Amino acid sequence: MFAGMPWGTIIATVAVIAVVVIGAVFGPRLFGGDDAAAPPDASSSDPSLKIPGVVRAEYPAGDHVTGDQRVAYDQSPPFGGAHDAVWAVCTGVVYPTAIRNENAVHSLEHGAVWITYDPERLTADQIDGLAMIVEGQPYTMMSPYPGLDTPLSVQSWGHQLKLEDPQDPRLVEFIEALRLNESAYPEPGASCASPYFDVDNPPAFDPTPPGPDAVPVRK
């Protein structure tokens, strides 16, 4: 039945077709063609890149100051830079009074999110609503911040978002994107419990400008 068929030609043709098919399917992946795998999207490790209004800055980690030193922060509220060796407890604590910047920034280095608000620009109901987001939540804390230039500001290490309305959905988006996001803070695995920080009597916020002996912020 198959006598006389040009088997050599048929085999050669099949081999060529196989090479073409394999090349079409796998070639771009192997040799970087148009369908080659794209490089990793930065937003996959830092989803806050997709949140409008987020401000970002790079700060070196591990710069510590003592309890009686001030830091000349370049942002208000600060979200990176030198900080106290003792971090503020950030285990879902709602501080009723403003806390010292230098302790709060250390908490951000541990992966926490810090919600701050101007008590003169939010109602009691709005503050209570924010507290419900924070209370009991790991790696989260909240405190008033007198003189804040917006009603509300939320910080993580190297990130900040200022808002006019506590019901702005970007607030929750920021928390979900950056709280304990290991690609976005320097000390993964660090605790938010702080045995040397007095939650009931925390170091007070100092509203005065830092003096000439303040520690500068490195970038």
Q: Give the SS3 label for residue 163.
A: strand
| Residue 137 contacts residue 94 (beta carbons within 8 Å) | no
- Based on the fold, state whether residues 31 and 51 are members of the same structural domain: no
- Based on the fold, state whether residues 67 and 5 are members of the same structural domain: no
Check residues 25 and 90 and name the one with the higher pLDDT.
90
The residue count of the chain comes to 219
Q: Which residues are registered as beta bridge partners of 76?
A: none
Based on the structure, what is the number of domains in the chain?
2
* Residue of 206, 88, 106 whose CA lies nearest to 142: 88
d(CA 193, CA 1): 84
| Mean pLDDT value across the chain | 86
- Based on the fold, state whether residues 141 and 79 are members of the same structural domain: yes
Q: Which two tokens stand for residue 19?
A: 């090479």
pTM above 0.85, yes or no: no
Convert the pLDDT of each residue in 80-128 to its tens digit: 999 999 999 999 999 999 999 999 999 999 999 999 999 999 999 999 9
Check residues 65 and 26 and name the one with the higher pLDDT.
65
- Based on the fold, state whether residues 88 and 15 are members of the same structural domain: no
CA dist 40 → 31, 43, 44, 46 (Å): 18, 9, 7, 11
| pLDDT value, residue 10 | 41
- Based on the fold, state whether residues 110 and 211 are members of the same structural domain: yes
Convert the pLDDT of each residue in 181-213 to its tens digit: 999 999 999 999 999 999 999 999 999 999 999
212: domain range? Answer: 43-216
